[in-house]
Amino acid sequence: MENEQGVTLASPTDTESKLAPVVEEQAVETQPQKPPKGFVPYQALEEERAKRKELEERLNSAPSEEPEEYSDEGKELRKEITALNDRIRSNERKEARREAEASFPALKERREEFDSFLEDEENKRLSIGKAAKLFLAENNLLTPEPPQRAGLEKPSGGGQAPPEPKLSPDEVQDLMKNNWRKYEQLLRAGKI
């Protein structure tokens, strides 16, 4: 007879009932632990990188989709278009150069240095205006502009002319000597 835990018990009528019950071990199958969500094994990551690299190489080595065969007229038109595009770009650069020289006169004095600065690989990608500012800053030629001053501040108080006394200077002298209290009242009232 087995109980709930799977232990086999001897029948109560047996003389061996005093012995310990015999436990039968059941083999419990252990399931492998699942990796946490979002975990990617290193091997899978390496496989993905290899596949991505292979596909990028295929994409880069793929022939261009434009047909390379043009008619004679098409070839001439293509040459004219590229020549016109080059001409437009050069005109835009010249105009930007003029604007930069107008806003920063120090560039006119150091034209050769600025040209060599523009030929640098890092600076080719910059616009002329930004390259001019960078060139001037690197050579300490870019002076900070002082803040524009509008002039003196407007007065906010005072500015009142002292009142003209109604008494003559002799009368004021007499009040000061003989009637000092009245002189003090008039002075505080602003009448003197």
pLDDT (tens digit per residue) in 51-89: 999 999 988 887 666 556 778 888 899 999 999 999 999
CB atoms within 10 A of CB 100: 21
Residue 85 within any structural domain of the chain: yes
Q: What is the pLDDT of residue 189?
A: 85
**Domain-embedded: residue 78:** yes
> What is the pLDDT, as a whole number, of residue 28?
57
Residue 51, pLDDT score: 94
Question: Is the entire prediction scored with pTM above 0.85?
Answer: no
- Tell whether 43 is covered by a domain: no
Question: Has residue 48 been placed in a domain?
Answer: no
Per the structure, how many domains does the chain have?
1
Q: Is residue 125 part of a domain?
A: yes
Could you tell me if residue 76 is inside a domain? Answer: yes
Residue 185 dihedral angles phi and psi, to the nearest 5°? -60, -50
pLDDT at 59 (0 to 100):
87
Taking a C-beta distance cutoff of 8 angstroms, is the pair 108, 101 a contact? yes
Confirm whether 56 is domain-assigned: no
**Distance of alpha carbon 88 from its chain centroid, rounded?**
32
Q: What is the CA radius of gyration of the chain?
A: 50
No. of helices (H) and no. of strands (E), the chain: 7, 2
- State the DSSP H helix or E strand holding residue 145, giving kind and residue range, or none if neither: none
Per-residue pLDDT at 161: 73
Residues of the chain with pLDDT under 70: 1-31, 40, 63-68, 144, 155, 158-159, 162-163, 165
Asked, for residue 40, whether it belongs to a domain, the answer is no
What is the residue whose two structure tokens read 């005109």? 91
Distance linking the first and last C-alpha atoms of the chain = 129
Q: Whole domain around residue 87: which residue ranges? A: 72-138
